[in-house]
């Protein structure tokens, strides 16, 4: 008899980076819940038979809708990354502060579905947010439901993701065990670089590409092989039209450099931390954000495409993004890297039997 796959609900799913990692690790994703229609369209397309539910997690009845949608299926794991604003614990903690509902909805979902485990993901700053009150609330409220909780900040390059990104994960287990976080799979000198991640993609020097294209070369690295293994066609690799002025400014930024490397008076319209940053071919990329104006390809004088950002986030090439380009960039930037989710999901599996 084949072993049944553990089941997952993804709350605040966005396009489903974290749940895609769980899916790749052999879980069955039952449901993704989010308030953004276009991200859910992407989620639905890339998560097998999972249901994509457009739900308002501010509302209590949404939980009942979730239960109705999955019918009698048992939920083994609930995963989610409530937005930071969901922890409005400043001053006197007002139970009825609407934003509290976002974090609360995850607590309520765990209470209702009684999963064997939950995974709450967020920015590392959550540990110190509101003088540590947010962290305390997580430990207290899920602890009260009978879960043993461990938390750790994971650094994406340690797990094969070609991008500087840190995330905090709280993992709660119902059976009283303490969760052991996955050990890093790579040492710093072996981190996957931008070149190893995206060098096989068309340069777009002479055209802007299109939503579906042929690959110009075979994979040039192990990572590219891994990204392309289920894909025969290149998706979402569309360039951005830059003015000659912008291109000329980009051309002055050395590899790995930023606005500080520009001559006086050049590129003054944007002078902040991440402005005019060019990736370094031999290092992981900077943190992918939801915009697409500040970072540039390590070699070509343009912003990365949605597919290049998706690669740097460890989305496999068969993962297709929907919506206009701005929406696609936002979906990629908001996601948890699937490869990070995959290693976490694999480590969690050992605790679920």
We report the CATH number of the domain holding residue 88 as 3.40.50.150
pLDDT tens, 18-39?
A: 999 999 999 999 999 999 999 9
Query: Is residue 281 situated within a structural domain?
Result: no
Q: Which domain holds residue 69?
A: 7-184+337-349
Domain count, the chain: 1
Helix residue spans in the chain (DSSP H): 17-24, 37-46, 61-70, 100-113, 129-143, 194-198, 222-228, 244-251, 306-312, 325-334, 338-349
- Going by C-alpha positions, the residue among 36, 30, 83 that lies closest to residue 55 is 36
Q: Which two tokens stand for residue 94?
A: 């007002």
Q: Is residue 78 part of a domain?
A: yes
- Report the alpha-carbon distance of residue 58 to residue 99 in Å, rounded: 8
**The model's pTM:** 0.93
Q: Is residue 111 part of a domain?
A: yes
**Alpha carbon 162 to chain centroid distance?**
13
- Residues 261, 238: Cα–Cα separation, whole Å: 28
Does 130 score more than 80 pLDDT? no
38 domain residue, yes or no? yes
Q: Is residue 90 part of a domain?
A: yes
pLDDT exceeds 70 at position 2: no
Convert the pLDDT of each residue in 53-79 to its tens digit: 999 988 889 999 999 999 989 999 999
Active site members: 84
């Amino acid at each position: 008899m084949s072993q049944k796959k553990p089941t997952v609900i993804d709350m605040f799913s966005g396009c489903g980076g974290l749940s895609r990692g769980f899916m790749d690790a052999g879980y069955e994703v039952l449901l993704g819940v989010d308030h953004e229609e276009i991200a859910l369209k992407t989620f639905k397309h890339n998560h097998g038979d999972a249901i994509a539910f457009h739900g308002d997690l501010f509302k209590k009845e949404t939980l009942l809708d979730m239960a109705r949608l999955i019918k009698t299926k048992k939920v083994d794991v609930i995963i989610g990354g409530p937005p930071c604003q969901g922890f409005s614990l400043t001053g006197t903690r007002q139970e009825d502060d609407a934003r509290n509902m976002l974090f609360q909805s995850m607590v309520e979902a765990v209470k209702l579905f009684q999963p064997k485990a939950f995974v709450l993901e967020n920015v590392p700053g959550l540990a110190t947010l509101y003088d540590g009150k947010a962290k305390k609330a997580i430990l207290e409220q899920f602890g009260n439901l009978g879960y043993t909780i461990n938390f750790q900040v994971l650094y994406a390059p340690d797990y094969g993701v070609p991008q500087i990104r840190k995330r905090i994960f709280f993992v709660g287990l119902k059976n009283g065990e303490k969760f052991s976080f996955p050990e890093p799979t790579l040492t710093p000198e072996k981190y996957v670089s931008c070149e190893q991640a995206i060098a096989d993609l068309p340069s777009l020097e002479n055209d802007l590409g299109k939503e579906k294209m042929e690959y110009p070369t075979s994979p040039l690295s192990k990572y590219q092989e891994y990204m392309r293994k289920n894909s025969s066609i290149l998706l979402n690799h569309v360039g951005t039209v830059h003015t000659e002025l912008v291109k000329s400014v980009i051309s002055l930024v050395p590899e790995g450099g930023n606005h500080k490397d520009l001559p006086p008076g050049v590129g003054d319209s944007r002078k902040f931390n991440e402005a005019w940053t060019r990736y370094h071919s031999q290092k992981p990329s900077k943190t992918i954000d939801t915009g697409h104006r500040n970072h540039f390809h390590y070699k070509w004088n343009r912003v990365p495409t949605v597919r290049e950002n998706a690669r740097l986030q460890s989305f496999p090439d068969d993962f297709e993004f929907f919506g206009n380009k701005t929406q696609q960039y936002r979906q990629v930037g908001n996601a948890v890297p699937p490869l990070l989710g995959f290693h976490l999901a694999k480590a969690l599996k050992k605790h679920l039997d």
